[in-house]
Amino acid sequence: EVQLVESGGGLVQPGGSLRLSCAASRFTFSGYWMTWVRQAPGRGLEWVANIKKDGSEKYYADSVKGRFTISRDNAKNSLYLQMNSLRAEDTAVYYCVGALRTEGYWGQGTLVSVSS
Amino acid sequence: QSVLTQPPSVSAAPGQEVTISCSGSSSNIGNDFVSWYHQVPGAAPKLLIYDNNKRPSGIPDRFSGSKSGTSATLGITGLQTGDEANYYCVTWDSSLSSGVFGGGTKLTVL
């Protein structure tokens, strides 16, 4: 069974930075587009960013453009999200997702809280 | 404000059927495939429909999807109490160059 495990979440002050990681196993990681999706407390799903199989294309939601950077290391079967200039509205559970629109492999999520 | 519009809530009795709509525009639904997820509180979302109307392995045929123009619809027949969840549509928006989710629809099985 596919396993995606996020890590790196936690409490950070506004303006701070955090780097999320997602480790994939039992999954042909290099064969899939990967996506970060977040969900604020009590709210719906929000698409954050995605990255092509080989890392050559990256796309971002307007709400995070210029502040977040998605990357991947296919040799390590790992996905990353570097989050800078964090704001209170970035508080959410962040999910790592493989093949969002066709297979839907999701991690369990990691909570990011931005508060002073 | 979501780019894709879903009704906030729908309800029906056990055994009945329900439809959930997802309305968009020519730059998203009108231009790409739609997928549907359901999510129970505290759990990760689960894929129900992809490519407008295809079901992943293990998803019962009580769930169906369709698309017409700039709108998509999820249909659920033979409602069960276990179907109570939040349902989301998702697609790609070529104008935004980003993925977009609907705001979500809470299904209550009365």
Using an 8 Å CB-CB cutoff, list chain A residues near B37: 45, 104
Please say if the pLDDT value at position A111 is more than 90: yes
Residue A79 C-alpha, separation from nearest chain B C-alpha, in angstroms? 18
Residue B77 C-alpha, separation from nearest chain A C-alpha, in angstroms? 22
Please say if the pLDDT value at position B2 is more than 90: no
Using an 8 Å CB-CB cutoff, list chain B residues near A41: none
**Which of B44, B46, B88 faces A44 most closely, judged by CB atoms?**
B88
Among chain B, residues having any CB pair with chain A shorter than 8 Å are 2, 33, 35, 37, 39, 44-47, 50-51, 56, 86, 88, 90-92, 96-104
Residue A33 C-alpha, separation from nearest chain B C-alpha, in angstroms? 12
Strands (E), chain A: 3-7, 10-12, 18-25, 34-39, 45-51, 58-60, 68-73, 78-83, 92-98, 105-106, 110-114
CB-CB contact of A64 with B8 (8 Å): no
Mind listing the pLDDT tens digit for each residue in A63-76?
999 999 999 999 99
Residue A115 C-alpha, separation from nearest chain B C-alpha, in angstroms? 22
Mind listing the pLDDT tens digit for each residue in B39-92?
999 999 999 999 999 999 999 999 999 999 999 999 999 999 999 999 999 999
Q: What is the pLDDT of residue A95?
A: 98
Which residue in B has a C-alpha nearest to residue A96's C-alpha? B44
Task: Give the mean model confidence (pLDDT) for residues A26-55.
Answer: 96
